[in-house]
Structure 1
Amino acid sequence: ACRRALRDELGAEPAPETEALRDDIRDGRLAPRPEPRALNLPASLFPLVGREEELSRLIACLRDPGCRLLTVVGPGGAGKTRLAVEAGRLVAGDYRDGLCYVPLSAVQDPAGIGPAMAQALGFTPYQGAPLAEQLLSYLRGRRVLLLLDSYEHLLEGAAWNAAPLVSDILTAAPGVKALVTSRARLNLPGEQIFPLAGLALGAEPQRPSSFPSPNALGEGAGGEGSPAAALFATAAQRVRPGYALTDADAPAVAAICQRVEGMPLAILLAASWMGLLTAEEVAAQVAPDSGRGIEFLAADWPGLPERERSMAATLERSWSLLSQREQGVLAGLSAFCGGFTAEGAAAVAGATLRDLARLADRSLLYRRESGRYDLHDLLREYAALKLRDAPDGGESVRDRHGAHYLGTLAGWSRLFTGADEAVAEIDAEWENVRAAWTWAVRRGEWTLLGAATRALTRYSSTRYCHAEVRALLLLAEERIREVLAAPAARTGPLLHAAGAIIAARAYQDRMLGRPQAAMAPLREGIALLEEAIDAGEDARGYLARNVRRLAWMLSPAESAESMRCYDRAIQLARETADREELADALNFSGGRARNMGDLPEARRRLGEALVLRRALGNVSNEIQCLSQLVYCALEERDGAAAERWLEEARTVVQRVGIPKLPPKGRSHFRLILHILGHFEEAAELSRDQLLLFRERGLEFHLLGGLETLGNDELMAGGYAEARAHLEESLRLYQAAADALNVQNTCLSLGQCALGQGDLAEAERWLERLTHDPPDPKDTYHLTCLLGAPVASLAGREGEARRYLCEALRHGSAMQSLPAVALYLALRGEAERAVEVYALACGHPWVGNSRWHEDVFGRPIAAAAASLPPEAIRAAQERGRARDPQATAKELLAELEA
């Protein structure tokens, strides 16, 4: 039958070997199948550490019947070979003919793949047929796993015909699977990619989406227990017997692992120095600012190829596989810090999408879930060295980078008018912005810098990164002051930029709690902007903004000047058709008018501001405006109107959704809840906000978040919780040298002590408030709000009266009247005390407050216990009928007499 089939289908007779095989089978002389030969896998110098999850997934892929070609792809030093060898060793028993390891790193061209494969298989080619055909024939009936190691250099140039041999084998031999390691994919039909990145660093913030997410075994990034740190410790023990990762070493080891982004080879090379250096010294050597990290990451390991004992050699190998154009693009991409977009890559490095795709295919670039691209940190450093070798030293690339980001930053002001205050773009580009700003200062690009201050300042207000932004502005300010020292340099554009930069820096000082340090430079910035206008420069936009900030910073005693500044800002905003600045000036001037007691004017300004802010779509500013209108309604004793404004704010919040509401919007909404006495709801929002701040590491937000939560809990009567949050807030404010907020928090802690009935503790906080206040003009009324009830309860009537007079002059009636009522009750005027306290309780912030009831309500009720019930009811009715402001003036006159 066999002879007939060969004759009919192929026109051939059976070969002598075939007839001999027939005779052996017939006569029972067929020898048993030989035992599988020993694995030819390379021995490993280190155990496989931290790759448990990747190993499990790789084995699962190899055991998947549908997976015939599996390529482990990753950058040099990622441990591709080590992982593939371990997986191959564990699954070799699944294959009747075992595993065959084919090292390709020494193969110089595609023609050498066949001989390398034949040698590894133990197959001796014969004359008369092409080697490829012989290999296909040899493998056709076998079940074997081919492990083809280091394939990447055979995919370039004329190597276009190298990969088809693998494809032909898989097609001809259904029992064969191929496991390949390569820095680039083979791009063959049916190829399954297994991306391999660095080891997990523990609590890692972001990983490229094209790489697998490793199991984060540790608590801190690169800290004790993380796979990266475990590998470091294991390798360090080889050169320092008995070494164990300690709490003292953990930060340095974390820094090392972060710096090399968990790359196993780099970690092993760094650990090889532990026989001579400490972990802190190794971390210093590989730090980005050391300038020698790549050179340092090398070891004297005889017998190993240089690329396996030197990061420089590993990176040079990847570089050598690139075309000249790809090398130029990669060098240009090293100018970016913290990643980049495709648009940025095109503008700075001239990279096309195809360029980015080819670099990504070679594991030299990765794309994050956000759509942004990035380079491995060590590769970026290596590419930067190549950029410096360019004829111009890379200056043209850095010029394009700086101009691109400063120009983009100037246009980012629009991001702050959207419904969600979309600052995510600046968040992502922040490191590039910092680098571009530094470049612009060095190059004296003052027009670009001046134009960028608006977005930079507004970003700081949204993200509360005032210290970082102040440092950038101060860098520019110091340099531009040197330029301005030359009289001939005082041109309109330079004056415009200088005024914008200096005033913006002053604003950062104010937001960092240093109002007095901010006032003089702010006025100086305004004067420079006015000088620029006189020189023919249109600086009205920046002038309006900073005049409005000056108005906001002026004290209550300077309210007349403040309103004049606001009106000037409004006029300038109308002239320049700047609706956003107009809305801000109207809103803040409305608040000032309310504080001055001119409620009709306040409502007029706030109403116009609300219409503008709604049209602009900035939800945080809209809610802020609504909070001011709530204040106005409360001061007019119109609780129904106040609740209507609250419902409008709630509608805005529900439309956007709390998770998408920016921090400023949440803060303004929480303020509305707080002043309307919804303390529990406000506290719940504050807790959620605080959790968000901690998760995102928003330190400045955290300061205010702790204080506001403490105040919500204080008013709700949760004194123990309030005290804990306020004490933490105080420690952070002190560390930040924020004197004004230190005073605010001390006041709250003193009030907390009063709520707990601890007069002695309240006295200590009062003493703290009166000791070296940052600015008595701004903070003494805070002292009075605590001093008045403390002195009254301690029986110091004269001192209490002095505090009350100051509180009534400069504080609000809502804050002062309960303390006046307590003073009256303790000096024997119980009926008047009931009347005044009933008036104060008409405000929900007082009437719904457990703290006010504990500190003022109960002592007043005790003093009035001997009064007839009808007398108490009559006093309460008289109080509710009173006008708070008029009553406060009457009481002030009486106390001053």
Structure 2
Amino acid sequence: MAAEAEISPREVEVLELVGAHLSNAEIAARLCISVRTVESHVSSLLRKLEAPDRRALARRVPEPVDAAPARPAPVLPATLTSFVGRVNECAELIELVTACRQVTAVGPGGVGKTRLASVVAAEVAGAYSDGVWFVDLVPVTDASMIATAVAGALGLGEQPGRDMTGSVVAALADRHALLVLDNCEQVVDGVALFLERLLAACPRVTVLATSRSRLMVPFERVYPVPPLSLTGESDAVALFLERAVSAGRPLDPAPHAQIAGICERLDGMALAIELAAARYPTLGMDGITAALSHPLRMLTGGSRADERHRSVRAALDWSHALLEPADQALLRRVSVFVAPFTAAAAAQVAGGQEGIVADGLARLAEQSLLVVTASPGGTEYRALETIRQYGTERLDEAGELADARSRHLRWCLAKAAGLGVSGPDWRARFDLVADDLRAALAWVADRPERRGDACELARRLAELTFVRNLTGESQRRYEQAAALATDPAACASLLRRAAAVAGCRSIGDDMYRLRRAAADAARASGDGAGAAADLASAATIAFRFSTMFVRIPSREEALALLTEAREPAGDDPVARAAVALAEAAVLTDAFGAAQGPSDNQVPETVARAEHAVELARRTGDPLAESAALDALTGAQSWAGDTFATAATARRRITLLSSLPVSPAATHELIDALAIATEAALGAGDIPAARRWGRRLAGHPSLAEVGHRATCRLLMVDALAGHADEVLTGSVRFLDAWRRAGSPSRTLLRPAVAAVAMIHGLRDDGDARRDWLGVLDELETPPEHTYGYGAVFDAILLLHRGQAAEALERTAPEPRQVWKWVTWIWHHWYVALRAEAAVLAGSPDARDRLAEARTVVAGNPVAAALVERAQALLDHDQERLLATADAFDTAGCPYQSARTRLLAGASRGAADLAGLGLAPMVLPDLRGASAAT
């Protein structure tokens, strides 16, 4: 056929390639001739073969035998860097392109739309028999030139009698092709008109567009391109690492957590992450982190081939220039919000009617300059951090920054005042505005003329963060508010609240410092009685909370405070009650004493505490009464009255449980729960001790100090024998303690010793050594030797059948070590000491039993221990088994299982195994016979 029509060899080659559905540009590239030459050959072929159009011309070429039709290679931009991650996004976009005729990948500048579209186009190229073409519309600023840009990519010229759009439509009319239109945002209206004509006339053409806004055409399916993932196997971190290596300085080992933090601050924006990683060789990780306070300055140095991607600022300049002036103004004004905001909030801060502002916000969102989310409170908008900082710069350039910040501050003050601290959703409502409150406070705190507003906002934020269990921030905000207060009386009040929050955080040094500062402020305001109460409270804190101090004030220092407080206290009932409490705390030898009290000191100490309770009760302040009752529990414990101590501790719980939430009330309740747990344990009331201990461990205000929250419950569960709960609680304890910097506090030692004992009972030598290592990191007080240390060691030694060693461990008489075996440990120490004497065959075992029975009378656990030892001494099997039931009733399953084993009951071994403990070594009861 070709010969008959006198077609030249070159025309034959062109005809074959037309039959393969190549464009003129592709044919020119294949044959190394110009596009215009190809156009001439095609025109000649149309004339010679009398074909009406290119489609008919392609049909004049016979299909080659036994050969698959050649598919044109996709015409896509060359990639200079690797494509990282985006597995899910690629799959989703491929699915959309396969199913829909026109898909628009939408997102802000720098999110990675172009790379994603290119990769997807390459992946699906095989499905389009007539090829894939990529058209970059960045150079196009005139809507009438869109079709020309597309025609240039396709290698088409304008056909006679048709405009350029018509020529493109005619060329693609029967093609099965994918057209990628990149960067449509600056000519979005022209693109929309072009696509309506193209897609209506070309049923087998698919268009994948990228844009910062939707195209709004009938066929459109929008795909919002998300930022890079920041969780799990983070694409953002992977991109940073790959680009850092490309920049010439690999990260080995890679600080994944620090990189993740940088990527999160950059909102997962691909361009920003690439630019940050490129600065790694010169800035390092620390330098990048510091520079992110001004990201628009740091995020530079991108592609010189594309001006928009040379910096984040350039990308934002491009988007900003496309906005109408009113939308530019709205963007910069809402940039003062650092958290998601509603249209109503934007109207208050930016000015204008809510409906008009809402319409403007929608346009900004359509331009991918705001992120839109639905929430229970309605539609919310948010600017990515780089966009927000860009808007703030524009706000400053427009001279509107101070005015916008002031309106934002007024909005924040109103929000803080209206939040309240009740209702099931108040925490969620606080979380929505918390960052804005902090940002407004950071701005106004440096403006002396707005000091009153700053103080008010700091106070509100302190109250809200406390109830939100952000106690560290709450203390800082109270101190900040105090520093901003112009009234010394208000300053004193704020400092007292800060001291109470420090108490919830178990930071004695801060409690002491802040109470002394409150005294200075009260004195400056002319409130002598208030100053006296603060001074006395500081002296009391030094005694009550000595285990919470890094530097414990000396007794002389506390006495000086007490002396200073007496005169200004006068007849003021609150000040007098505070002074009386300080006297009960400080004026006893219990303050730092190493020896036991004399007979005449015990009544005096109890009398002082009771007097403090009476004076506090007269004030009508339950918090003052609770503090005085705490002094009374100490005095009663010092006197050896275990059950009175427990009763007073329960009285405190009852007094405090119905009070509204406040720093002072919370601090007192936390302390009362701790004391009640210990007092109940000392009295053998295991169920109550576990109840108080669990309430303490779960108290939300102790979330930042989990090691202090759980330490009492660990002791209780260990002594009861609940090994599984000890192991679970010990994980939380150790993690919190490490996160807190591994503080060396004597208060924590009993809990650590308890966990070590449980691992010993489980015969887990490695874990026990680890916990004994933790014990070595803590300060060692005498209690370890004579109190809890002796109790836990004796239990483990008796479990291992080492009665003689247990006897030696409890050798000191209780009256010799009165201070360390009163309080929690007295009854336990006495009872275990008696049992060790019996099992070791000590000649004085019977005397010890008689003495112990008198001491522990009324304590269900200690009494059962003594009764069991007596049954062993007397070889009374029935009496021995009865004590197992007593232990069960008392909530002490370990001692119940141990009793049954001592009695030879087979159930004992199963019970012990059920507790997760190792088999017990049975003692040689001939020792008990020798004691007889």
**TM-score between the two structures when normalised by the length of structure 2:** 0.64
Distance 2:350 2:56 in 1: 73
Question: Which residue identity does 2:443 align to in structure 1?
Answer: W
Unaligned runs of 5+ in 1: 1-15, 205-215, 219-225, 481-488, 536-545, 572-581, 647-670, 676-681, 774-779, 881-897
Question: Mean alpha-carbon deviation: is it higher for 124-133 or for 785-794?
Answer: 785-794
Which residue does the alignment assign to 1:81?
114
Question: Which residue identity does 2:240 align to in structure 1?
Answer: F
Do the aligned partners of 1:733 and 1:742 also contact (CA within 8 Å) in 2? no
Q: Aligned to 2:387, which of 379, 383, 386?
A: 379
Which residue does the alignment assign to 2:317?
316
Distance 1:399 1:837 in 2: 70
Residue 108 in 1 paired to residue 145 in 2? no
Q: Aligned to 1:263, which of 258, 269, 280?
A: 269
Inter-CA distance 770–32: structure 2 relative to 1 (3 Å threshold): closer
Which residue does the alignment assign to 1:68?
101
Question: Which residue identity does 1:425 align to in structure 2?
Answer: R
Do the aligned partners of 2:245 and 2:251 also contact (CA within 8 Å) in 1? no
Distance 2:220 2:183 in 1: 16
Which residue does the alignment assign to 1:436?
440
Q: Aligned to 1:818, which of 828, 838, 841?
A: 828
Cα deviation, residue 566, structure 1 = 5.9
Q: Percent identity?
A: 25
Distance 1:601 1:704 in 2: 22
Inter-CA distance 767–317: structure 2 relative to 1 (3 Å threshold): closer
Unaligned runs of 5+ in 2: 1-45, 64-68, 529-540, 542-573, 586-604, 637-643, 795-805, 838-843, 888-932
Cα deviation, residue 152, structure 1 = 0.7
Cα deviation, residue 594, structure 1 = 8.8
Matches within 5 A, 1:166-177: 166-177=195-206
Cα deviation, residue 169, structure 1 = 2.3
Question: Which residue identity does 1:305 align to in structure 2?
Answer: D
Cα deviation, residue 364, structure 1 = 1.4
Which residue does the alignment assign to 1:297?
299
Do the aligned partners of 1:71 and 1:179 also contact (CA within 8 Å) in 2? yes
Which residue does the alignment assign to 1:119?
152
Distance 1:326 1:446 in 2: 33
Which residue does the alignment assign to 1:746?
749
Do the aligned partners of 2:302 and 2:309 also contact (CA within 8 Å) in 1? no
3-state SS of paired residue (2:446):
helix
Residue 30 in 1 paired to residue 38 in 2? no
Q: Provide Cα deviations, 1:725-784, integer angstroms capped at 9, x if missing partner.
A: 659846854874797x922210223345566489x99999999988579xxxxxx89985
Cα deviation, residue 149, structure 1 = 0.8
Distance 2:773 2:194 in 1: 85
Distance 2:54 2:211 in 1: 45
Distance 1:60 1:175 in 2: 17
Residue 405 in 1 paired to residue 415 in 2? no
Residue 287 in 1 paired to residue 301 in 2? no
Cα deviation, residue 560, structure 1 = 5.2
Q: Provide Cα deviations, 1:215-261, integer angstroms capped at 9, x if missing partner.
A: x4x2xxxxxxx323333343344442xx6442255455444433433
Distance 1:268 1:672 in 2: 54
Q: Aligned to 1:54, which of 61, 64, 89?
A: 89
Cα deviation, residue 265, structure 1 = 2.3
Inter-CA distance 710–763: structure 2 relative to 1 (3 Å threshold): closer
Question: Which residue identity does 2:691 align to in structure 1?
Answer: L
Q: Aligned to 1:673, which of 678, 683, 691?
A: 691
Cα deviation, residue 426, structure 1 = 2.8
Residue 506 in 1 paired to residue 499 in 2? yes
Question: Which residue identity does 1:30 align to in structure 2?
Answer: R
Residue 45 in 1 paired to residue 75 in 2? no
Which residue does the alignment assign to 1:195?
224
Question: Which residue identity does 1:92 align to in structure 2?
Answer: A
Question: Which residue identity does 2:133 align to in structure 1?
Answer: C
3-state SS of paired residue (1:866):
helix
3-state SS of paired residue (1:178):
strand
Distance 2:53 2:328 in 1: 63
Distance 1:462 1:552 in 2: 31
Bigger CA radius of gyration:
2
Question: Which residue identity does 1:470 align to in structure 2?
Answer: Q
3-state SS of paired residue (1:100):
strand
Matches within 5 A, 1:358-373: 358-368=363-373, 372-373=380-381
Q: Provide Cα deviations, 1:692-725, integer angstroms capped at 9, x if missing partner.
A: 99xxxx9715434553663454234366984896
Inter-CA distance 452–784: structure 2 relative to 1 (3 Å threshold): farther
Inter-CA distance 441–263: structure 2 relative to 1 (3 Å threshold): closer
Distance 1:29 1:720 in 2: 81
Q: Aligned to 1:145, which of 171, 174, 178?
A: 178
Which residue does the alignment assign to 2:9?
none
3-state SS of paired residue (1:744):
helix
Distance 1:236 1:748 in 2: 47
Inter-CA distance 871–282: structure 2 relative to 1 (3 Å threshold): closer
Do the aligned partners of 1:111 and 1:162 also contact (CA within 8 Å) in 2? no
Do the aligned partners of 1:587 and 1:609 also contact (CA within 8 Å) in 2? yes
3-state SS of paired residue (2:874):
coil
3-state SS of paired residue (2:445):
helix
Do the aligned partners of 2:342 and 2:380 also contact (CA within 8 Å) in 1? yes
Residue 184 in 1 paired to residue 187 in 2? no
Residue 470 in 1 paired to residue 475 in 2? yes
Matches within 5 A, 1:846-861: 847=861, 861=868
Distance 1:699 1:857 in 2: 37
Inter-CA distance 176–631: structure 2 relative to 1 (3 Å threshold): same
Do the aligned partners of 1:514 and 1:738 also contact (CA within 8 Å) in 2? no
Q: Provide Cα deviations, 1:114-166, integer angstroms capped at 9, x if missing partner.
A: 222233333332344454445444433332222111001113xxx4x541331
Which residue does the alignment assign to 2:874?
867
Inter-CA distance 552–94: structure 2 relative to 1 (3 Å threshold): farther
Do the aligned partners of 1:821 and 1:860 also contact (CA within 8 Å) in 2? no
Q: Aligned to 1:423, which of 427, 448, 460?
A: 427
Cα deviation, residue 329, structure 1 = 2.4
Which residue does the alignment assign to 2:558?
none
Distance 2:82 2:649 in 1: 73
Question: Which residue identity does 2:202 align to in structure 1?
Answer: A
Inter-CA distance 163–170: structure 2 relative to 1 (3 Å threshold): same
Cα deviation, residue 866, structure 1 = 2.2
Question: Which residue identity does 2:503 align to in structure 1?
Answer: R
Question: Which residue identity does 1:90 align to in structure 2?
Answer: E
Residue 95 in 1 paired to residue 101 in 2? no
Do the aligned partners of 2:462 and 2:473 also contact (CA within 8 Å) in 1? no
Inter-CA distance 30–731: structure 2 relative to 1 (3 Å threshold): closer
3-state SS of paired residue (2:873):
coil
Distance 1:29 1:77 in 2: 45
Do the aligned partners of 2:488 and 2:522 also contact (CA within 8 Å) in 1? yes
Inter-CA distance 169–342: structure 2 relative to 1 (3 Å threshold): same
Distance 1:93 1:874 in 2: 83
Q: Aligned to 1:231, which of 239, 256, 281?
A: 239
Cα deviation, residue 306, structure 1 = 0.9
Which residue does the alignment assign to 1:577?
none
Which residue does the alignment assign to 1:800?
814
Q: Hey, which bits of structure 1, 4+ residues long, moved more than 6 A?
A: 16-19, 22-29, 529-535, 546-558, 584-596, 598-614, 623-635, 760-770, 780-783, 787-792, 870-877
Q: Provide Cα deviations, 1:433-467, integer angstroms capped at 9, x if missing partner.
A: 33233334323445445545665445454454333
Distance 1:169 1:284 in 2: 52
Question: Which residue identity does 1:270 align to in structure 2?
Answer: A
Inter-CA distance 788–90: structure 2 relative to 1 (3 Å threshold): closer
Inter-CA distance 428–41: structure 2 relative to 1 (3 Å threshold): same
Which residue does the alignment assign to 1:710?
714
Cα deviation, residue 801, structure 1 = 1.5
Inter-CA distance 769–79: structure 2 relative to 1 (3 Å threshold): closer
Distance 1:22 1:286 in 2: 64
